[in-house]
Structure 1
Amino acid sequence: MSSDLLLEARGVSKSYSMSLSPRERFFEAVFGWTPDKPHHVVLENIEIEVRRGETLGIMGRNGAGKTTLLGILGNVIEPSPGSTITRYGTIAVLLAVGAGFNPQFTGRQNAELFCSLMGLSSAETTARMGAIAAFAELDDYFDMPLRTYSSGMMARLGFACAIHVNADVIIIDETLAVGDANFRVRCYERIQQMQRNGQTFLLVSHSPNLVANFCTRTIVIEKGRKVFDGPPLEGLNVYKDIRENLAAGKKPLPNGGSDLIAPKLRLENVRFNEVVGGDGKRGILTCDLVAEAAVSDPVVSFGIRNQEGITICSYDSERDTTELKTMSSGERTSLELEFKNILLAGAYFISARVAERVGDVTLTLGTHHNIARFDVVSKGTNAGLVDLSVKLTTPSTSHNDPAAEVAIS
């Protein structure tokens, strides 16, 4: 066994019996008897090694099994028989917000309990309370019951506890997603500081930027199976392909899916690609506009929003010089929306609207959110929404020379 190996998982699986009665659950728990019932497989034959100093990012769609895997690795969830988990160090686990805390205890009491469960002595726990309270910034709430906390306050307490108990491995399951922006920045700064000191992390995140900037290795889980284990940027591409293939296979839905359904117009074959040219990155959305009935003056509009719902920009063919021609029933027109991608790191979503101009009135025929998603991954740390290519220079400085001054009258 290598001295830097902290966590080793072999053949990890997890399944749940479906529709068990209370009596059947009793016999299963006490006697190990499993009734002949269908099982829901959550994880299947997962193999993982985690070494000292790594930051392992785990990605996957909702329901892929990520949280269950973290719970098993952190000794919170019992795996199915045949699974082998070997832990060579202490592990601090942050799963669901507030998980493991007693809502009747104060923040301080929960922090003391957390430290005690991590093996700290009473003296060591007392010595850490000041640092935990200071990082959590809960003020008077630190000595109030947890039931009075918001989800963001519980996230503050949980993260503050986890980083002050000297755990060999810290497991975080999207807990930081519920904190306010300033607190998240402080958490990320602390994670980077701890990484420089050799701390090991396991992170679950849907954020491509977090994975690209913080993780040294990435695992992608799909339908309970490990489908990728390797460099973060390659893992992001695998995760992106999974999402896009899923979207392409969905049937058109009135309020969701990859196609937009409208009474007279619809969008089909929506695709997004990014190209890199001499003038930088450009985003290209392609789709087909299909007329179910004759439309004399079709109108399309698109909007780009970030994951906070802020509209970054919008386009409306009605306000553009490009006019869409009259479409007869069954006619199909290919559309291509191109824009210069100067967006900063994050996830972005494109929405669409189809309409018809009738006289002085524009009638909306259908709207749809999130027909396409794209991710901008950057190693930069600039804040804001767009990259304006701002540069700071230091022009040569000249000293005032009285003899060279020119009087202006």
Structure 2
Amino acid sequence: MTLPIINVNNVTIEYTSRVGFFKRFKHKALDDVSFEVQPGEVFGILGGNGSGKSTLLKVLGGILHPDEGEILVKPGVSRALLSLGLGFNPELTGEDNAIISSMLNGYSKKQAQDLCKDIAEYSELGHFFYQPVKTYSSGMKSRLAFSTAVLTEVDVLLVDEVLSVGDKKFKQKAQETLSEKIKGHQTVVFVSHSEQQVRKLCDRSIWLKDGVLQAYGPTAEVISKYNNG
């Protein structure tokens, strides 16, 4: 059997919140979550608002570290987290942010600068590509995030509902590009509110509710449990 590209073992993320001056309470954004992602598969994360989907994707991307449990990533595997504006410096231009993001994924400065020509064209941001990200609308940030992540050659794409923002024409283009990546056996972990998108794109999935794993397996089975839950 093929070794998993990502293995999530009993991961818990806990936050401490303050109520008033003295009272504090702990909240588990993720509670003892375990699953694995195989090379070349499209893996779905389904759940409502506050279910822990985005927190989990940040754990998979190495941005958050578990309070308990562990995430094991196959040696040498590169990951890109495609999330709306995450990691962008609002004071820097779209171009500068794209260069930094590419270099963090192993590109030399020259390679990143060359790649930026393709990112600028694909994103269709025009002169805004050379303006500070703080001037961008949410749709423009979505274009920059998707273009940068999808044109950077990485082993695993982590997609956090970024396709839900932006104009219809670009969303269609983005979905077609993602489909091409999937046909080329790109490993993708895909978060979405859209049951239809998860059903269409994902081989296997999990369903999260209040940070707890409710179902894990073939997507059709997970969606069936999700709808009956």
Contact 2:46 2:195 survives alignment (8 Å): no
Deviation (angstroms), 1:154: 0.5
Residue 91 of structure 2 corresponds to residue 92 of structure 1: no
Cα distance in structure 2, aligned partners of 1:20 and 1:3: 48
Q: Is residue 17 of structure 1 aligned with residue 21 of structure 2?
A: no
How far residue 37 of structure 1 moved from its aligned partner, in angstroms, is 4.8
1:122 aligns with 2:109: yes
Moved more, 227-236 or 197-206: 227-236
Alignment-mate amino acid for residue 32 of structure 2 = N
User: What TM-score, normalized by structure 1, do the two folds share?
Assistant: 0.53
Cα distance in structure 2, aligned partners of 1:216 and 1:3: 16
RMSD of the alignment, in Å? 1.9
What secondary structure sits across from 1:183 in the alignment?
helix
Matches of 1:4 and 1:117 in 2, distance apart? Answer: 26
Unpaired runs of 5+ residues, structure 2, are none
- Residue of structure 2 in register with 1:171 after alignment: 158
Higher relative contact order (CA 8 A, sep 6+): 2
2:122 is aligned with 1:135: yes
1:240 deviates by 1.3
Q: Where do residues 5-404 of structure 1 align in structure 2 (5 Å cutoff)? A: 5-19=4-18, 37-80=24-67, 82-88=68-74, 89-95=77-83, 97-242=84-229
Tell me if the contact between 2:13 and 2:30 (Cα under 8 Å) persists in the aligned partners.
yes
Q: Distance in 2 between matches of 1:101 and 1:222?
A: 29
User: What residue identity is the alignment partner of 1:17?
Assistant: T
The structure whose residues are more often helix, as a share, is: 2
Shift of residue 207, structure 1, vs aligned partner: 1.0
Contact 2:30–2:211 (CA under 8 A) maintained in structure 1: yes
Asked if 2 retains the 8 angstrom alpha-carbon contact of 1:219 and 1:226, the reply is yes
**Structure 1 residues 43 and 126, CA, compared in 2 at 3 Å: closer, same or farther?**
same
C-alpha distance in 2 between matches for 1:12 and 1:237 = 25
Q: CA distance change for structure 1 residues 19 and 180 in 2, over 3 Å: closer, same or farther?
A: same
How much has 1:5 moved relative to structure 2?
2.3
Structure 1 residue 228: deviation in Å?
0.9
Displaced runs of 4 or more, over 2 A: 2-5
Q: What is the Cα deviation at residue 163 of structure 1?
A: 0.9
CA distance in 2, matches of 1:20, 1:116: 41
Matched residue SS, 1:192: helix
Q: TM-score, normalised by structure 2?
A: 0.93
Residues 93-121 of structure 1: CA distance to partner in whole angstroms, max 9, x if unpaired? 123x2111011111111100110111111
Give the aligned residue type for 2:71: I
Shift of residue 75 of structure 1?
A: 0.9
Deviation (angstroms), 1:235: 1.6
Q: Is the 8 A contact 1:212 1:233 kept in 2?
A: yes
Secondary structure of the structure 1 residue equivalent to 2:30: strand
Q: Is the 8 A contact 1:217 1:229 kept in 2?
A: yes
Max Rg structure:
1
Rounded Cα–Cα distance in structure 2 between residues aligned with 1:199 and 1:45: 28
- Matched letter for residue 234 of structure 1: E
The 8 Å contact of residues 6 and 168 in structure 1, kept in 2 or not, is answered as no
